[in-house]
Amino acid sequence: MRYHKVAQFIPGKGDAWMYSESDDKGVVQRTLTYVPATGELERIPDPVVKFLFRPEKLMEAQAAEFLELWGRA
């Protein structure tokens, strides 16, 4: 599996990080969005978007980082 992340600013909340887990062909398996300033976390186990959009713009994320956030209650 491969893991990617990208940040987007949300007024009043700060940066929101979107993480994606994909296979070697770029097919997205699951995603999550995390807002560190507020602690908001949204897990999407079966995302509508199944392919990475503009993967060259994404930062590489560590598997441990994604899995730690995914495992939060």
Domain extent at residue 38? 2-70
pLDDT, averaged per 10 consecutive residues of the chain (73 residues), comes to 96 95 94 96 94 89 97 80
Total domain count, the chain: 1
pTM (two decimals)? 0.90
- DSSP labels for 34-67? EETTTTEEEEESS-S--B-SSGGGSEE--HHHHH
